[in-house]
Amino acid sequence: MSKRAYFGTDGIRGQANRHPMTAEVALRVGMAAGKLFMSRDDRRHLVVIGKDTRLSGYMIEPALVAGFTSVGMDVRLFGPLPTPGVAMMTRSLRADLGVMISASHNAYHDNGIKLFGPDGYKLSDERELEIEALMDQGLQEGLAAPDALGRVQRIDDCQARYVEIAKATFPKGLSLSGMRIVVDCANGAAYKVAPEALYELGAEVIRIGVEPNGFNINQECGSTHPDAMSRAVKEYRADIGIALDGDADRLVICDEKGQVVDGDQIMAMIAGAWARGGRLLGGGVVATVMSNLGLERFLKARNLKLERTQVGDRYVMARMREGGFNLGGEQSGHLILSDFSTTGDGLLAALQVLAVLKESDRPMSALARQFEPVPQKLENVRFAGGRPLEAETVKKVLADAEQRLNGSGRIVVRASGTEPLIRIMAEGDDEKLVNQVVKEIAGAVKKAAA
């Protein structure tokens, strides 16, 4: 695959007002993507745009609008809406393209642009490369005539529509009445819709992270800082805590004691319930190389398989579509329920967990340990540049570590797609050995990166 100049593993991302996250690049994205998705017929073409609550959204959104309208595309603006909501509305409104302005779980000073095709799925690598090629060409070509410029309209009911879609995924005849739920919206895109949906389904809702000011998205709240949720659960004696990230495509859950539940356990919980009800498709679950070996063993014991992909929810989704699976996700809490959504959706995943919790009539702490996890160690090494993973010293240490684990565990070492980090993960039945090999690999990477 060609080297990508703008797009990373999840759209275009970077520090706001620094390349590539500038108004100029956003304008080019709008013009290029607009040209690519304008079909040959003479109907009006439509792009829908949602965003999270970052200050820089006010800069990037109008730049995108200018780009799209200049090539003749009509624009519908949603304002703050979760990423999965934008994907849903792209299909619902029969748009040619959907855009989400968000840097997900990153701090306010970053931002990003994610694109969805008319089917509501994230664009393929090939499609993104086509957009990149057009972005670097002369922008004067293909501009609309003065009378053919795109028109722009704000859609006021998109949040209400998303709430109704979310509620419809909750099992009929089941209610959340009698449940006290803490929901932490990370001062992000779901700050209105998530508490609303839970309340309308009957729950008593304690809302935190619902006062965005442009700067406080993901700041000591949300899925990257679950302590805030855990404290609130204990303080209000809630039954469960739900923490979303800035664009609400992932979640972290804690039980009634405030203890965080691992994403793999949540996948096991939903997979088990769906398999019992005959709803699990594809004969198993799709997850990434980061998912715990314990999840694989849990599924195997139920004659189900775990299919692994590289890290990134788009790769999980691609494998799900290929193999006819309807449940997949990442250990980090990106859960994809393809019966309902074309991308990860924190609120919809939370509703499935709540359904299992309600039907079981047991506390969350009793359901939180679906399997015994294999000891797993993660370490991130920050690096300034270069390619430390290609160093012979690092390759040698890696080969040695794999030999010592000798089939009783796994090692995954990869460069992050969103930050200048090398992520090192090892797991195996011997915890001491796992910790030792991670320490050695991290040491070798640090030396190679120095």
Q: Which residues are catalytic?
A: 104
Are 54 and 103 spatial neighbours (Cβ–Cβ below 8 Å)?
A: yes
Are 123 and 115 spatial neighbours (Cβ–Cβ below 8 Å)?
A: yes
Helix extents (H) in 311-450: 313-323, 346-360, 364-367, 392-405, 431-449
**Number of CB atoms found within 10 A of residue 211's CB:** 12
Rounded distance between C-alpha atoms, residue 375 and residue 237, angstroms: 31
Rounded distance between C-alpha atoms, residue 156 and residue 150, angstroms: 19
Q: Is 247 helix (H, G, I), strand (E, B) or coil?
A: coil
Residue 430: C-alpha distances to residues 142, 159, 284, 374 (Å): 61, 49, 27, 9
Count of helix runs (H) and strand runs (E) in the chain: 14, 18
Q: Is 276 helix (H, G, I), strand (E, B) or coil?
A: helix
Quote the longest CA-to-CA distance of the chain.
70
The sign of the torsion formed by the CA atoms of 419, 424, 425, 431 equals negative
Rounded distance between C-alpha atoms, residue 385 and residue 3, angstroms: 17
Rounded distance between C-alpha atoms, residue 434 and residue 298, angstroms: 21
For residue 330, what are its two tokens?
């990442």
Give residue 431's identity as a one-letter amino acid code: E
Rounded distance between C-alpha atoms, residue 240 and residue 96, angstroms: 39
Rounded distance between C-alpha atoms, residue 104 and residue 87, angstroms: 15
Find, among 29, 24, 34, 66, the residue nearest to 142 by Cα. Answer: 34
Who contacts 43 (Cβ-Cβ below 8 Å, separation ≥6)?
A: none
